[in-house]
Structure 1
Amino acid sequence: MHDLASIRRLLIVEPCEECLQLVPGLRIAGWDVDSCTLEEAALRPCDVGLIRLLPEHFAHPEVVKSLISRSNTEWIAVLTSEDLRREHIGDFVCEWFFDFHTLPFDVARVQVTLGRAYGMARLRGKDASHSNGLFVGENPGQQLLGESRPMRELRRLLGKLAPTESPVLIRGEGGTGKELIARTLHGQSQRREQPFISVNCGAASEGLLQEELFGDAGETVDASRQRKPGRIEEANGGTLFLDGIGDLPLDVQANLLRFLQDRHIQVAGERVPVDVRVLAATHVDLEAAIRMKRFREDLYYRLNVLQVGTAPLRERHGDLALLANHFAQFYSRETGRRARNFSQDALVAMGKHDWPGNVRELENRVRRGLVLAEGRQIEAFDLGLLGEEEISSSMATLDEYKSRAERQALCDVLTRHSDNLSVAAKVLGISRPTFYRLLHKHQIR
């Protein structure tokens, strides 16, 4: 029997036959293994996630990106070597996943990777200040990173709103740190010692979300097992954060409104009081959703008592270099590489980029840059951005494009398999002699 503190939770998403064959050995090694579909994944707590990437995930990567960006889990991709040859898949996997494995599995390497991922998950858990990339200092909620005017005004506003018990609606684009703001409000409130419970309202189907919020119905629970409480009950005494409230199905909206009105839930036919402060976040226009009959106006007024807006990164003048250097310092520990600063060309390229994914995109690009950088500095190319010279002369000959792609493929595969060059060559679908010839050609290693 494993001590509760030592249990390592692994979630296998869209498990294939080869994935399921790993389960007995992983359980012997001390992993608590669960499996589910991609739709259910956001509702299953875990330390490490293993996801079998399917063709539909490559066609619609935003679904996978949403899952990864909304969780503090370390995710590992499982795919075939043929999948890696698809256009842009290498960048997708490198940017969004802790690591990846190609089928068939190298079982020994799987064990090592899972162990490293679990270690990083524990590190993130101990220092949640880095999970959304906006905190600075040891204690989450103490300070928001950034000295731009929008950030100074935000800190001042949160200091006023945190001590109140009123609901707060947090509005802003994706990747601007809305959950971070909710955690700050909780951390500076009288409820700071009580639970902070976060629910992603767009992560599951209506039925699953209803059960996630309110728990088992009670009357339908088998006598042989204990009733599973909902997230509202788990937040009793603390704060309930409803992320993506605009995605909440209408039937669940009605039940949530009923709870907000009388602060009771139904358990086995009985009304049970629950004391929570409700915070909600949205990136959609709720007023437009009300006009289109997709969001209840009475629920809107219940949630929108106080309001906070998050500024997109492109409007936070002066914060870009500060945040980028913060991520570079933090992720240098993860990669085991020495900390690198940014070249002037990279800083210019970052300044010209629009950052549609905001702080989350910056975090991911810096993480990618640390992995790919070979010189003493992180260059614009390492971040996936065009530098000054490339912008002015972005067109090149076909041979030059091929050479760049060839070198990038070598760098990507060495990032993952530098300890096993035979595997690296196999992933690229070339012989080992050819692999060594290409390394020499591009002056790598």
Structure 2
Amino acid sequence: MRKLLVVSQHRLSDEVVEALEARHWAISYAADLEDAQSADKQHRFLVGLALFSEKPDPREESELRKLVSSFPDIKWIAALAEEEINRQDVKRFIAEMLYDFHVFPLEAERMATVLGHAFGMANIERDLNKRSPQPQSKTPNRFGLIGDSDVMLALYRMLQRAAESDVSVLISGPTGTGKELAARAIHDHSSRSKGPYVAINCAAIPPSLLQSELFGHEKGSFTSANNRKSGYIQSAAGGTLFLDEIGDMPLESQATLLRFLEDKIVTPIGSTRGTHVDVRVIASTNVDLEQAIQERNFRSDLYYRLAFLTIQTPSLYRRDSDIELLANHFLEQVAAEAGMRNLKFSPEALAALRHYRWPGNVRELRSVVFQAALSCDDTLIQPEHLKISAGPIPVAEPTHHEPLERHPPAAPPPYVMGTLKSAREQSEKTNLEFALERNASNITRTAQDLGVSRMTLYRLMAKHGVARSAANR
């Protein structure tokens, strides 16, 4: 049977279902991204259908972008309102990221034919990857990033997809997870790799200077303008402009940036003539932009312009199988720079590294390894050499040669008699309470632990009546 993932709040019509079942499709439904992720873990879909409402809804467009970004190996077909298809940004997204699209009403036979073609192409690509002399297998170093955990392999696939397209990309993730490395990797592996790569820190430029820094100015356009100056955008022409920490950009500056993203026209201060600039924009943030939009700290229209493709760089605690690999890589670096030989970690030191939660992520790990190497007088780094701001890293408990647990294993959710729905809801509530307790009610860490956004976590807490102080009961 062919497996089809349908992401929708509604069911397909009987006519469409009959046409698909006649061609041996097994249909699975998911109401949202979270449901889709859960279903894909069980079935590993090759083809997906995103079915939205017949009236334009910007929220659904945003959900579609997240959906496609989260499943780079699925051939996606989307059904959208006709008014949406007429927008230039949506057209570009469809051309770059989707296998095909439909407008309402759906035609059963055409839908069945297109899904069949998508499934055939997906099978061909999968077969070629299996037979390739250089298969897409686990590798510790790709795109200049270190790691062979499942989350890193998923990140590599997203970076490859971003490099092969030319749309705007939004990279989000906690501090120290390699967002700038990911942006640079996209540029270096894209068709713009021979062009300039210009990075700016949006939070570091005062609003009063932003227009001059981005667009440049003419001589004499203001008091200190003694010479003509090109802005960052023109400097990146033909290449990539990386907007680091876009979530910290002041609102008044966001409007200035939005105007450029809409028409790609640069008009220096003091000039009356604009110039079209061909540049790709990649942005990064450690801020939850959806939450910032709700709090009116970030413009939704700017978000939609930036987030054609979204990429999440994972926290180090989500890729703990990479910690030893990263630590040894950093140790080789510092040993080579400092002329050290035969320096390595003791088993106890490696256990301590794996046990620690790493709030500063990879950046913190690198700093700890460098300091340990430089403070070690022997050839063996011990736990006491591993220092964080609060002192030595806590020593891991003896494991008797069993795999270390990052947290004490939570008790399994109790069995609940009743309907499957009530059992699922009770299990969801119980796991939510355990996660909050495990993370001391920290919303950001709890959301990351559960693999959901902060907004989704707040919605789940409200749904189950779980207070933020649940961990303190």
Q: Is 1:374 aligned to residue 377 of structure 2?
A: yes
Question: What does residue 262 of structure 2 align with?
Answer: 261
Distance change in 2, residues 1:295/1:337 (3 Å): same
Residue type at the aligned position of 1:313? L
Question: What does residue 209 of structure 1 align with?
Answer: 210
Question: What does residue 338 of structure 1 align with?
Answer: 341
Work out whether residues 320 and 354 of structure 2, in 8 Å CA contact, stay in contact via their aligned partners in 1: no
Distance 1:279 1:189 in 2: 12
1:35-50 alignment, distance < 5 Å: none
Per-residue CA deviations over 1:162-212 (Å, capped at 9, x if unaligned) read 121110110100000000110111011100000011111112322233332
Work out whether residues 218 and 269 of structure 1, in 8 Å CA contact, stay in contact via their aligned partners in 2: no
1:5-154 alignment, distance < 5 Å: 142-154=143-155
Distance change in 2, residues 1:208/1:373 (3 Å): farther
Distance change in 2, residues 1:343/1:209 (3 Å): farther
Alpha-carbon distance, 1:290 to partner: 1.1
Work out whether residues 215 and 266 of structure 2, in 8 Å CA contact, stay in contact via their aligned partners in 1: yes
Residue type at the aligned position of 1:210? Q
Work out whether residues 171 and 178 of structure 1, in 8 Å CA contact, stay in contact via their aligned partners in 2: yes
Alpha-carbon distance, 1:158 to partner: 1.3
Out of 357, 361, 369, the residue aligned to residue 360 of structure 2 is: 357
Question: What does residue 4 of structure 1 align with?
Answer: none
Distance 2:156 2:397 in 1: 39
Question: What does residue 303 of structure 1 align with?
Answer: 306
* Structure 1 range deviating more: 223-232 or 343-352: 223-232
Per-residue CA deviations over 1:210-257 (Å, capped at 9, x if unaligned) read 332222365516899431211111100000010100111111111100
Question: What does residue 441 of structure 1 align with?
Answer: none
Work out whether residues 238 and 278 of structure 2, in 8 Å CA contact, stay in contact via their aligned partners in 1: yes
Distance change in 2, residues 1:285/1:224 (3 Å): closer
Question: What does residue 273 of structure 2 align with?
Answer: 270
Task: Kindly name which structure, 1 or 2, has the bigger radius of gyration based on alpha carbons.
Answer: 2
Q: Is 1:283 aligned to residue 286 of structure 2?
A: yes
Work out whether residues 177 and 359 of structure 1, in 8 Å CA contact, stay in contact via their aligned partners in 2: yes
Per-residue CA deviations over 1:264-284 (Å, capped at 9, x if unaligned) read 111322101111000111111
Distance 2:157 2:164 in 1: 13
1:387-398 alignment, distance < 5 Å: 388=395
Distance 2:226 2:177 in 1: 41
In the alignment of these two chains, the number of paired residues is 255
Distance 1:189 1:213 in 2: 23
Q: Provide the secondary structure at the position in 2 that maps to 1:270.
A: coil
Work out whether residues 345 and 387 of structure 1, in 8 Å CA contact, stay in contact via their aligned partners in 2: no
Question: What does residue 332 of structure 2 align with?
Answer: 329
Distance 2:393 2:358 in 1: 13
Residue type at the aligned position of 2:369? V
Distance 2:342 2:310 in 1: 39
Distance 2:144 2:161 in 1: 14
Work out whether residues 221 and 227 of structure 1, in 8 Å CA contact, stay in contact via their aligned partners in 2: no
Residue type at the aligned position of 2:193? R
Out of 311, 315, 324, the residue aligned to residue 312 of structure 1 is: 315
Distance change in 2, residues 1:182/1:311 (3 Å): same
Question: What does residue 69 of structure 2 align with?
Answer: none
Question: What does residue 168 of structure 1 align with?
Answer: 169
Alpha-carbon distance, 1:344 to partner: 1.1
Question: What does residue 434 of structure 1 align with?
Answer: none
Higher relative contact order (CA 8 A, sep 6+): 1
State the TM-score, normalizing by the size of structure 2. Answer: 0.51
Work out whether residues 140 and 147 of structure 2, in 8 Å CA contact, stay in contact via their aligned partners in 1: no
Distance change in 2, residues 1:224/1:151 (3 Å): closer
Residue type at the aligned position of 1:175? G
Distance 2:383 2:299 in 1: 46
Distance 1:277 1:169 in 2: 12
RMSD of the TM alignment (CA)? Answer: 2.4
Distance 1:223 1:318 in 2: 54
Question: What does residue 236 of structure 1 align with?
Answer: 237
Per-residue CA deviations over 1:284-313 (Å, capped at 9, x if unaligned) read 111111111111111011001111011101
Distance change in 2, residues 1:170/1:208 (3 Å): same
Residue type at the aligned position of 2:288? D
Distance change in 2, residues 1:259/1:292 (3 Å): same
Work out whether residues 146 and 323 of structure 1, in 8 Å CA contact, stay in contact via their aligned partners in 2: yes
Distance change in 2, residues 1:387/1:192 (3 Å): same
Distance 2:174 2:157 in 1: 21
Work out whether residues 144 and 181 of structure 2, in 8 Å CA contact, stay in contact via their aligned partners in 1: no
State the percentage of identical aligned residues.
Answer: 44
Distance change in 2, residues 1:219/1:271 (3 Å): farther
Q: Is 1:248 aligned to residue 249 of structure 2?
A: yes
Distance 1:207 1:247 in 2: 15
Distance 2:168 2:225 in 1: 38
Question: What does residue 180 of structure 2 align with?
Answer: 179
Distance 1:271 1:348 in 2: 59
Residue type at the aligned position of 2:155? L
In structure 1, runs of 5+ residues without a counterpart are 1-134, 392-445
State the TM-score, normalizing by the size of structure 1. Answer: 0.54
Work out whether residues 265 and 273 of structure 1, in 8 Å CA contact, stay in contact via their aligned partners in 2: yes
Work out whether residues 168 and 281 of structure 2, in 8 Å CA contact, stay in contact via their aligned partners in 1: yes
Alpha-carbon distance, 1:354 to partner: 0.5
Distance 1:251 1:217 in 2: 22
